[in-house]
Structure 1
């Protein structure tokens, strides 16, 4: 059995592995040593003939236990908390702007968004721009979204109007008359160009008003900008990390209030943006409990994104790892009778938030006591 005598100088201590960028252990070779002139006799832990490795020393230490459970790897990023969507409301009506919403005002589908010559311009949900008058007998994508909006607003049932239909039927005509009556328009049953604006959201939050009350409403001009009312966190992620993040990854959002709330990655950008020597892609995160996030807009937050998970594995505190002179790592186990021995281990996934690392090694078992630096 080979034995190596290691002598140390005053003040030297056992060195634990440093962790490099990305939460991984840096690849370094470290000699094991203890304080104040005490030597360590080390049996090569990777020698097949070696059964135990005894360790003695006076460096202050504590004890932890080998655990079994689930670990998650995370990446910590800075983000901005706000509202999803950025919509431009384009005017199609002619006349004078007589009423506008206020910045921050929330307007729902079927409500009056602004007025031209005193007449309401209605907000409806839809992604297709309307470029013509809509009336009985017409077909098209704009008709389909009008039908869907009328059903969503309960001016017709699904039995009366198929929300997926692109045909302007008599049922569409009668449902539209009901809407016009509610908002104070003449009940024509037709939808003239400019009487409604379509935005791909059921509710919008006005973020900027471009038009001026009393000015002419130029056709094709942007009246206002808006977002949806859905809460969202955006992260400018380094483009090199794009492959590490996937839609559906779980997230913990640290709010400006000091509280945390869960979320999930809803989209990962595919187009990189370069700015000030930094190339990033946009990652969007949907909070699981939107009410927890309050109403702040463009508020700085931190997000911890779970990028990998392992279940039912043995783990130890990261600072329990000892980097061996011959390479690799070990943990120092304390037996029931008080004897100490080193067990060589292989590391797996690192859980940064928990300060734990997945380990495997012969002789390693759950609930074993292991040595860690004193806190």
Structure 2
């Protein structure tokens, strides 16, 4: 499925006849030919390209899994969102017995009721929500305050009134769900009209921000790094750019396989402009990652390589007086985006190497 390995790809190209030297050709000085096509040997940076199949999806937890939304109230589900719905911080998530359950944003899940005098990280994130949503107008809350104060109570009453909840000035255990960010509904597991039980998952959600997931095989896991540039080709052949955002920590063996050597590691690519992805979800994409390369290397075009009878490679150099000479080279990094390959041998920057005619 994956389009890569630079060395094998170049070797296949040579074996297919592009620039392969006939075995009968002497490895010394090449025959003189009039006006050969030549390109200069360059010295400079080369970049490696890793080509992968990916999946355009929506970002959620660091491991790529969606957020689990756990219900904490008892009754009957009277309103549920639909897959794909966008729910912002402070909005109604769903309803139980026609009572709204709100989405509030923060990393600490709900684990207790909150009321005046309570102190803790969960109170701090409640204060931050009330301040960000503008419910503390006239009685400003300090966003980092971890104490449930009179200002907290008044702001919470405004939020409850605005969303049609019981105006109590306290946050009961089942009144809200805290997630790290605004979300998009990925899957609804609760049933409209069904029983709502505390501790049961009602739905799963992701962020509204798109990203690309790719699986790295064992050989690629040392090549792709966080921050590497990526170009993503979308369905329809449009392309967007991005960077490797994070790498998974645990390699997984694909379903149905037992060979540990087949284990892959997930990588996640952040899009520079997610709006250019057109709202696609679960769409297959092609990803080209520009991995770390070589800062200062001699290189020649890949098409300048010729095969030698012993199985190695050489390039044909045009020396002074139009004398042409085959020079054996060892190959290094292949820069597939530039069509060049790193070489080591008796040649120098500026030497003219023969390439096939256009």
Q: Is the 8 A contact 2:104 2:176 kept in 1?
A: yes
Higher mean C-alpha deviation, range 121-130 or range 166-175? 166-175
- The equivalent residue for 2:251 is 272
2:79 maps to which of 74, 96, 99: 99
Question: Which position in structure 1 is the counterpart of 2:192?
Answer: 213
- What residue in structure 2 maps to residue 17 of structure 1? none
Instruction: Verify: 1:222 aligned to 2:206, yes or no.
Output: no
**2:117 corresponding residue in structure 1:** 137
CA–CA distance in 2 between the matches of 1:371 and 1:134?
A: 78
- Aligned 1:262-341 pairs, distance under 5 A: 262-275=241-254, 276-277=256-257, 278-311=262-295, 313-325=297-309, 329-335=313-319, 338-341=322-325
CA contact (8 A) 1:120 1:183 kept: yes
Aligned to 1:219, the other structure's residue is in SS state coil
Aligned pair partner of 1:90 in 70, 73, 88: 70
Q: How many residues align?
A: 337
The Cα of 1:135 is off from its aligned counterpart by 0.6
Question: Do the aligned partners of residues 166 and 62 (structure 1) sit closer, same or farther apart at CA in structure 2, a change above 3 Å counting?
Answer: same
- The answer to whether residue 148 in structure 2 is matched with residue 168 in structure 1 is yes
Name the CA shift for 1:326/1:94 in 2 (closer, same or farther; >3 Å). closer
**Deviation by residue 1:158-190 (Cα, 9 ceiling, x = unmatched):** x94333332212222222122112212233221
Structure 2 residues without counterparts, runs of 5 or longer: 61-65
Between Structure 1 and Structure 2, whose CA radius of gyration is higher? 1
The one of 49, 52, 55 aligned to 1:80: 55
Residue of structure 1 equivalent to 2:354 = 371
Q: Secondary structure at the match of 1:24?
A: helix
Q: 1:34: how far off?
A: 4.7
Secondary structure class of the residue paired with 1:241: coil
Distance 1:239 1:190 in 2: 52
Residues of 1 paired with 2:46 and 2:322: CA distance? 30
Change (3 A) 1:341 1:156: farther
| TM-score, L = length of structure 2 | 0.83
The structural deviation recorded for 1:326 is 6.5
Is the Cα–Cα contact under 8 Å of residues 343 and 364 in structure 1 kept in the other structure?
no
What secondary structure is seen at the aligned counterpart in 1 of 2:151? helix
Runs of 4+ in 1 over 6 A off after TM superposition: 25-28
- From 194, 199, 210, the equivalent of 2:179 is 199
Q: TM-score normalized by structure 1?
A: 0.80
**Residues 72-118 of structure 1: per-residue CA shift (max 9 Å, x gap):** 11221111111011012111122222111111111111111111222
Give the superposed CA RMSD: 3.0
Q: 8 Å contact 1:126–1:145 — kept in the other structure?
A: yes
Runs (5+) with no aligned partner, structure 1: 1-20, 44-53
> Does the CA contact (< 8 Å) of 2:21 and 2:306 recur in 1?
no
Question: Contact 2:232/2:240 (CA < 8 Å) preserved in 1?
Answer: yes
Q: Which has the higher mean CA deviation after the structures are superposed, 337-346 or 124-133?
A: 337-346
